[in-house]
Amino acid sequence: MSEALLRDQIEDALRTVHDPEIPVNIFELGLVYSIQVKDNNDVQITMTLTAPACPVAGEIIMEVETKVKAIEGVNDVHVHLTFDPTWTREMMSDEAKLELGWL
């Protein structure tokens, strides 16, 4: 499988993970900063949360790992949580802003 196709499948999987406080998926919210596919199909995802004290942080990270690992061809998944840069509403896609009525 090509890296581009695998990346598309990863992005599709991330669009099924939702922040419980904001009814929009984490990809459109702009919480996913980077997706790297290594040579051995290990996946490194760098992401953040809407707030450092998010009470469901562990659940969101676990859901990301589980859904991405379930993609055929993915060997392993490592999620790196960062708060630099801090998430802001400006990081959201126009689609997410529209869905929330912020456009």
Sequence letter at residue 72: E
Q: Name the residue with tokens 């802003």.
A: 97
* Higher per-residue pLDDT: 54 or 74: 74
Write out pLDDT tens, residues 11-42: 999 999 998 888 899 999 999 999 999 989 99
pTM score, whole prediction: 0.92
Write out pLDDT tens, residues 56-92: 889 999 999 999 999 999 999 999 999 999 999 999 9
Q: Where do the domains of the chain lie?
A: 3-95
- C-beta separation of 77 from 43 below 8 A: yes
Q: Which fold has domain 3-95?
A: GMP Synthetase; Chain A, domain 3 (3.30.300)
